[in-house]
Chain A
């Protein structure tokens, strides 16, 4: 491959992007959400047709009409969300669209051999081609997707945020595989938000912003600050606002709380005016802990006291007690994607939006507008559908919902997962100002519980941090007593 050069015009998603990658190179494509990374790659892989611009593959003009043509010319894409047909077998998934057949009849033996070869190439020798793909773990499913790309002699492999649903172990495996593939001369384009990943995997990087390529370079020679400021177009040395928080009375106290499997005998005190972080690995039971607190998961043992009430709770009761939760999965749990921003923000507290318990859409919008401005959410109007927004703005809608309900206790589960740096900074600012409160506007400080897997974020925003490991929660200690290394050791349970 002698380098791809592309230029697009006329569309809003991509103004004009140039990108060239050498054979066998791992190129990281970074940028905020909505910068056009995924769109660009969809053009490359034939899912979208470009309005303008040209592409070259191996010096030849390249213009796929559909994904199949792109696959046949050697360009394969692994999408952010797993794109497997869950009911079909591994081999049918690997060879989907390119099944071996004669006179329209599927040739199972040939399919099996072909699949074995592709699976071996991605280190899945032990997986039988016949088993349904939904019996595999998430990490294995991801590898099956890559096997699908390898099965067609791909020369360019595009990975769109492939790690968002993987555990640390699977991520490591994936990285090894990517390196093996690139050693074999396959070009890899790797899309990611995580600078750590970019650093761990790529040779070079290109930054996209607002549909334009704004810069790039050799990864080893650039600093994080460099890349971040290219991504957001401004300096973000002030990502984490550090204002003084003054903890006051206890808002939520948890005593020896146990759920079905996790959490196990968790005790905790959360005060108004403080941000308490919970670190830990995926699967340690952090989400289950929040769900038990919020009445979504059964409480087997122990006591949750809010104010003076320590009895049974369901989510409706928790909302009425002034507790709000932002769930970790905004697409399937956190938001009603098909509804408007105003609908989503006002969902838990529809009182007072019209006469006689009626709900007037116009009042929903007026009630939402101030929050759209303070958070702030980038949108055309409060009536816009949430699904039109970028991930970061969707997450801000989820948080604005808690502000509208004026809750006192905020339970935030991975509040910045998978969103761009700019949105992250804005969410940190909101968290900080909530914890501070504002006596002049008669806003008392709030109590905030943040669950996150991103350690710099916890260290940057929290006042105290506790670590959950295998369902048990450590003592919460002031943030000054922790560093990333200690948090990680505690999370793995080696303390």
Chain B
């Protein structure tokens, strides 16, 4: 009796680990491929590894929220636009001018070099979370499917970002610490003690928090329940509508953080056209990470591995000198392959 108990629960645990393990294996295979074939071993230099991590951080941060959404069997197509909105709001805030002591206009940043970027972040987080919650409200109140709502809001939010920016790039008057969030640390001897740029540390913190929420809180378990069987969840008294709203709000929040990283990554410019097509990379990362579009499945760790795989493919392809069209085709094919392998495994297990 005792024996059986142990074997049952260990079987369950091991299959979950197998799941993640298989993804790590895929990550290693993809990495080794480029490590071997990119000439002169340029691919596995420290600097390049850091670049991979920096580049993947934007996708991965946005993908954290998307993981929640996809586990509830939803989708959010507006993440690329929300990232752009955050980027623009940050730059716009840094460009605020106030009356100086001699009655002339001065930039807020010049007066408060530390706190005004903080204000910028705060505004961006509020704006992004609000549009996320708005997505959630439309989905739950008007009972429109998430695909349609976020397809619409993708356009609305992108337009809003362009409107705020006046349809051009906003150049803040001064470099601030937000602009340096993603600056390479290894190349700079003064900063190499940090190991990773601060933005990456933010991501690592977010990974821990998001995993914790998903696994150990009531809300997290409700996210899985809603995706696994929404009707059951409702009948059992799970606040389905509220759970969904929060999930889209969270996506907005994480997109704001991704926006800060993107802002720094593109050189501290408020570019309203940034982040186009990011929703596809983000969704691909979540799906390669083992989430299912029909809901109930997915994990933060898997998503992170997915984001790394996508980034390595993207950067590796560039460094192999593949033309852009080949890169795009390869990434597309890998997404289909990953899901096909997953489905096959599922069928065999069932």
- Is A128 in contact with B5, judged by CB distance below 8 angstroms? yes
Residues of B205-250 at the interface with A, using a CB-CB cut-off of 8 Å, are: 216-221, 224-225, 227-229, 231-238
CA distance A84 to B233 in the complex (A): 8
Asked if A85 meets B237 with Cβ closer than 8 Å, knowing A96-B232, A128-B9, the reply is no
- Is B233 in contact with A97, judged by CB distance below 8 angstroms? yes
Chain B residues closer than 8 Å to A131, beta-carbon distance: 8-9, 12
Chain A residues closer than 8 Å to B8, beta-carbon distance: 128, 130-131
- Is A99 in contact with B221, judged by CB distance below 8 angstroms? yes
- Is B224 in contact with A148, judged by CB distance below 8 angstroms? no
Interface residues on A, range: 20 to 34
Asked if A85 meets B232 with Cβ closer than 8 Å, knowing A99-B221, A104-B217, the reply is yes
- Is B233 in contact with A101, judged by CB distance below 8 angstroms? no
Chain A residues closer than 8 Å to B317, beta-carbon distance: none
B297 at the interface (CB under 8 A from A): yes
Interface string of A143-187 (1 = CB under 8 A from B): 000001000000000000000000000000000000000000000
Chain B residues closer than 8 Å to A66, beta-carbon distance: 237
CA distance A96 to B231 in the complex (A): 12
Most buried by B among A66, A98, A106, A132: A106
CA distance A92 to B222 in the complex (A): 9
A137 at the interface (CB under 8 A from B): no
Asked if A86 meets B233 with Cβ closer than 8 Å, knowing A96-B238, A104-B218, the reply is no
Asked if A68 meets B228 with Cβ closer than 8 Å, knowing A106-B218, A130-B9, the reply is no
Chain B residues closer than 8 Å to A85, beta-carbon distance: 224-225, 228-229, 232-233, 296
**Majority SS at the chain B contact face:** helix
- Is B234 in contact with A88, judged by CB distance below 8 angstroms? no
- Is A83 in contact with B231, judged by CB distance below 8 angstroms? yes
CA distance A105 to B8 in the complex (A): 25
CA distance A88 to B233 in the complex (A): 11
- Is A86 in contact with B296, judged by CB distance below 8 angstroms? yes
**Which one of B224, B225, B237 lies within 8 Å of A68 (CB-CB)?**
B237
CA distance A77 to B232 in the complex (A): 11
Chain A residues closer than 8 Å to B216, beta-carbon distance: 105-106
Q: Which residue of B lies closest to A111 (CB)?
A: B221
- Is B236 in contact with A92, judged by CB distance below 8 angstroms? no
Q: Which residue of A lies closest to B297 (CB)?
A: A87
Asked if A71 meets B236 with Cβ closer than 8 Å, knowing A85-B228, A87-B228, the reply is yes
Question: Measured between C-beta atoms, what is the minimum distance from B3 to chain A in Å?
Answer: 13
Chain B residues closer than 8 Å to A99, beta-carbon distance: 218, 221
Asked if A67 meets B224 with Cβ closer than 8 Å, knowing A84-B232, A87-B296, A87-B297, the reply is no
- Is A88 in contact with B218, judged by CB distance below 8 angstroms? no
Chain A residues closer than 8 Å to B297, beta-carbon distance: 87
Asked if A104 meets B219 with Cβ closer than 8 Å, knowing A83-B231, A86-B296, A87-B224, the reply is yes
Chain B residues closer than 8 Å to A194, beta-carbon distance: none
Chain B residues closer than 8 Å to A104, beta-carbon distance: 217-219
CA distance A106 to B220 in the complex (A): 9
Chain A residues closer than 8 Å to B234, beta-carbon distance: 67
Question: Measured between C-beta atoms, what is the minimum distance from A484 to chain B in Å?
Answer: 36
Chain B residues closer than 8 Å to A45, beta-carbon distance: 235
Q: Which residue of A lies closest to B237 (CB)?
A: A68
Most buried by A among B216, B220, B225: B225
Q: Which residue of A lies closest to B220 (CB)?
A: A106
- Is A67 in contact with B235, judged by CB distance below 8 angstroms? yes
Question: Measured between C-beta atoms, what is the minimum distance from B294 to chain A in Å?
Answer: 10
Chain B residues closer than 8 Å to A92, beta-carbon distance: 221, 224-225
A56 at the interface (CB under 8 A from B): no
Chain A residues closer than 8 Å to B217, beta-carbon distance: 101, 104-106
- Is A88 in contact with B235, judged by CB distance below 8 angstroms? no
CA distance A97 to B231 in the complex (A): 12
Chain A residues closer than 8 Å to B231, beta-carbon distance: 83
- Is B232 in contact with A71, judged by CB distance below 8 angstroms? no
Question: Measured between C-beta atoms, what is the minimum distance from A108 to chain B in Å?
Answer: 8
A336 at the interface (CB under 8 A from B): no
Question: Measured between C-beta atoms, what is the minimum distance from B19 to chain A in Å?
Answer: 12
Chain B residues closer than 8 Å to A68, beta-carbon distance: 236-237
Chain A residues closer than 8 Å to B235, beta-carbon distance: 45, 47, 67, 77, 79, 83
Residues of B165-218 at the interface with A, using a CB-CB cut-off of 8 Å, are: 216-218
Chain B residues closer than 8 Å to A97, beta-carbon distance: 233, 236-238
Residues of A447-484 at the interface with B, using a CB-CB cut-off of 8 Å, are: none
Interface string of A68-90 (1 = CB under 8 A from B): 11010000010100011111100
Chain B residues closer than 8 Å to A105, beta-carbon distance: 216-218
- Is A96 in contact with B225, judged by CB distance below 8 angstroms? yes
Chain B residues closer than 8 Å to A128, beta-carbon distance: 5, 8-9
- Is B12 in contact with A130, judged by CB distance below 8 angstroms? yes
CA distance A86 to B297 in the complex (A): 10
CA distance A42 to B296 in the complex (A): 26
Question: Measured between C-beta atoms, what is the minimum distance from B210 to chain A in Å?
Answer: 15
Question: Measured between C-beta atoms, what is the minimum distance from B152 to chain A in Å?
Answer: 23
| Known interface pairs A45-B235, A85-B232, A97-B233; 9 further A-B residue pairs with C-beta atoms within 8 A, sorted by A's residue number | A47-B235, A86-B229, A96-B225, A97-B236, A97-B238, A99-B218, A106-B216, A128-B8, A131-B9
Residues of B that sit less than 8 Å from A by CB: 5, 8-9, 12, 216-221, 224-225, 227-229, 231-238, 296-297
Residues of A that sit less than 8 Å from B by CB: 45, 47, 66-69, 71, 77, 79, 83-88, 92, 96-99, 101, 104-106, 128, 130-132, 148
**Contact sample, A vs B, 29 pairs, CB 8 Å cutoff:** A47-B235, A67-B234, A67-B236, A67-B237, A68-B236, A68-B237, A71-B236, A83-B231, A83-B235, A85-B229, A87-B224, A87-B297, A88-B228, A88-B296, A92-B224, A96-B225, A96-B238, A97-B233, A97-B238, A101-B217, A101-B218, A104-B217, A104-B219, A105-B216, A106-B216, A128-B5, A128-B9, A131-B9, A132-B12
The 7 closest A-B pairs by CB, nearest first: A68-B237, A85-B228, A97-B237, A87-B296, A97-B236, A96-B236, A83-B232
